């Protein structure tokens, strides 16, 4: 199996403000269960057997039927939630950080105010390995001669296409400003500049939906990829951003790409920059505990939000002035900050910490299940992302004085993030290969 670029046969396209002071009780979410969200190309695509196409058509019919039922108000009425208020009052788009079959289980979430979806290799590894919903299509793909990796991509692409259909009304209503579904290039390409470009172009072509974001990691090798992909008119979700320095490089890649595109109308080329939050606290808290001084311990749980607020200040600076204004005249849209990794990992912290603390206009927060439930239950809808910025600057500087190197923190978290996604991807491919071999043996 190629360790860099997969030679794929193309499918037929179709808590708030910081940790509580000593002893303050924390409200936890009363969790109500949501419906279970039950590279290059060198070969010509093979013609799919009729039965594979029939299953695809049947799934499409089921999606449109479910969407029609939801639109007509069939089933239990959906009440407004805090997610609606986030968007309507504060301009923050709440997204859902999960995707699996059946994608129609997203409809109640959309009705509750979710406006987009993100996915990653770990999400798909969990979805495909823990659900039988993929079995029929997988069996058909293996019968049609697909190997495990080709089958994986066809399973993923089908989910992404179906989810894009569900969010297309939001995309249309906002003139392409919202309603996106994100799919990531192979994590094996995290250090391959040109391989990432080719994989992004391929994914964009085969998904063939206006509201798809191609996710590209913000590694040093992939920052040039972001520029080239944007210059080709492809919308990008830049993922795994852990430091302000790397974030600035990502913004510059977006602006460079827009300028290099040569397009007279830039309104359909958009991007989000996924700035990871909770993992920053997880790592820096350990470093502070190792230092062990009262000053260090008092800064636990404050690093991530402080850095995120300073990232927002950089956003305001970079998307203003003559350079940006020239692009805006051609219809360019700002690369929104997307707060990612917003599930609280330390039970001592408020469970809405990374949502409540980063609310502001033209931002996105993609939430895993627990964070989403918690915010709907008891989140606070109030503009906070640009509040107490001087305090955030003080926290950032205090951590530096204690010996915390922000760039080194970012590099370590990036390496860990890439490695985690690679392991999930490789583990799933091994499982699919074993499953495929079993099916082939059974059919002999």
Cβ 264 vs Cβ 292: under 8 Å: no
SS3 36: coil
Predicted model pTM: 0.84
411, two tokens: 């590099």
Residue 96 lies in a domain: yes
Q: Report the pLDDT value the prediction gives residue 348, as an integer from 0 to 100.
A: 96
b/e string for 390-429 if b means 16 or more Cβ within 10 A? eebeebbebbeeeebebeebbbebbeebbeebbebbbebb
Q: Report the pLDDT value the prediction gives residue 442, as an integer from 0 to 100.
A: 72
pLDDT in tens, 7-55: 333 334 434 334 333 333 344 444 444 444 333 333 333 344 433 344 4
Cβ 92 vs Cβ 360: under 8 Å: yes
Residue 4 lies in a domain: no
Q: Report the pLDDT value the prediction gives residue 441, as an integer from 0 to 100.
A: 79
Handedness of CA 189, 195, 200, 202 (dihedral sign): negative
Q: Report the pLDDT value the prediction gives residue 197, as an integer from 0 to 100.
A: 99
Residue 155 lies in a domain: no
Residue 35 lies in a domain: no
Cβ 352 vs Cβ 379: under 8 Å: yes
Number of domains in the chain: 1
CA 389 from centre of chain: 26
Residue 24 lies in a domain: no
Burial of 133 (0-12, 13-18, 19+ CB in 10 A): middle
| Cα–Cα separations (whole angstroms), residue 65 to 51, 69, 159, 396 | 21, 6, 17, 51
Residue 444 lies in a domain: no
Question: Residues of the chain whose pLDDT is less than 50?
Answer: 1-58, 66, 68-76
Residue 294 lies in a domain: yes
Cβ 177 vs Cβ 119: under 8 Å: no
Cβ 15 vs Cβ 356: under 8 Å: yes
Cβ 261 vs Cβ 231: under 8 Å: yes
185, two tokens: 């290039």
Q: Report the pLDDT value the prediction gives residue 77, as an integer from 0 to 100.
A: 52
Using CA atoms, how far apart are residues 323 and 329, in angstroms rounded to an integer? 10
| CATH code of 196's domain | 3.20.20.70
Using CA atoms, how far apart are residues 234 and 199, in angstroms rounded to an integer? 12
SS3 275: strand
Using CA atoms, how far apart are residues 182 and 281, in angstroms rounded to an integer? 25
DSSP string across 180-191: -EEEEPPGGGTT
CA 132 from centre of chain: 24
Residue 290 lies in a domain: yes
Phi/psi at 237 (nearest 5 deg)? -105, 110
Q: What share of the chain is helix, strand, coil (3-state, %, to 5)?
A: 55, 10, 40
Q: Report the pLDDT value the prediction gives residue 67, as an integer from 0 to 100.
A: 52
Q: Residue 279 is part of which domain span?
A: 84-118+176-417
Active site residues: 215
b/e string for 17-34 if b means 16 or more Cβ within 10 A? bbbbeeeeeeebbeeeeb
Using CA atoms, how far apart are residues 418 and 154, in angstroms rounded to an integer? 22
Cβ 313 vs Cβ 305: under 8 Å: no
Cβ 227 vs Cβ 257: under 8 Å: yes
Phi/psi at 89 (nearest 5 deg)? -95, -30
Bridge partners, residue 393, by sequence: none
Helix (H) or strand (E) holding 364: strand 363-367
Burial of 303 (0-12, 13-18, 19+ CB in 10 A): buried
Using CA atoms, how far apart are residues 117 and 94, in angstroms rounded to an integer? 9
In terms of residues, how long is the chain? 444
């Amino acid at each position: 199996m190629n360790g860099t670029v997969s030679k794929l046969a193309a499918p037929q396209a179709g808590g708030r403000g910081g940790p509580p002071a000593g002893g303050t009780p924390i409200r936890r979410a009363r969790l109500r269960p949501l419906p279970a969200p039950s590279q290059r190309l060198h070969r010509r695509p093979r013609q799919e057997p009729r039965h594979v196409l029939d299953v695809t058509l049947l799934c499409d019919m089921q999606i449109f039927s479910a969407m029609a039922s939801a639109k007509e108000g069939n089933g239990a009425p959906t009440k407004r939630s805090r997610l609606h208020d986030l968007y309507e009052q504060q301009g923050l788009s709440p997204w859902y950080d999960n995707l699996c079959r059946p994608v129609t289980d997203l409809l109640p979430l959309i009705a509750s105010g979710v406006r987009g979806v993100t996915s990653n290799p770990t999400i798909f590894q969990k979805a495909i390995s823990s659900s039988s919903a993929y079995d029929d299509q997988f069996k058909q793909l293996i019968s049609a001669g697909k190997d495990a990796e080709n089958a994986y991509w066809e399973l993923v692409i089908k989910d992404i296409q179906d989810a894009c259909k569900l969010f297309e009304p939001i995309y249309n209503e906002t003139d392409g400003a919202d309603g996106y579904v994100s799919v990531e290039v192979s994590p094996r390409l995290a250090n391959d500049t040109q391989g990432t470009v080719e994989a992004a172009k391929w994914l964009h072509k085969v998904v063939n939906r206006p509201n798809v974001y191609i996710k590209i990691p913000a590694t040093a090798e992939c920052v040039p990829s972001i520029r080239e992909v944007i210059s080709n008119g492809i919308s990008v979700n830049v993922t795994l951003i852990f430091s302000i320095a790397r974030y600035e490089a990502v913004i510059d890649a977006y602006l460079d790409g827009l300028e290099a595109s040569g397009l007279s109308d830039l309104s359909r080329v958009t991007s989000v920059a996924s700035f990871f939050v909770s993992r920053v606290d997880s790592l820096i808290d350990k470093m502070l505990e190792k230092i062990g001084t009262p000053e260090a311990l008092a800064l636990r749980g404050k690093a991530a939000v402080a850095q995120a607020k300073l990232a927002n200040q950089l956003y305001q600076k970079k998307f203003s002035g003559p350079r940006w204004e020239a692009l805006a005249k051609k219809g360019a849209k700002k690369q929104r900050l997307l707060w990612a990794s917003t599930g609280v990992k330390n039970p001592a912290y408020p469970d809405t910490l990374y949502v409540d603390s980063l609310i502001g206009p033209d931002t996105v927060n993609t939430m895993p299940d627990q964070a989403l439930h918690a915010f709907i239950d008891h989140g606070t809808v109030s503009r906070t992302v640009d509040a107490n910025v001087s305090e955030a600057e003080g926290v950032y500087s205090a951590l530096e004085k204690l010996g915390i190197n922000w760039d080194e923190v970012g590099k370590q978290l990036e390496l860990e993030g890439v490695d985690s996604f690679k392991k999930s991807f490789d583990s799933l491919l091994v499982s699919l290969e074993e499953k495929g071999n079993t099916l082939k043996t059974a059919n002999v």
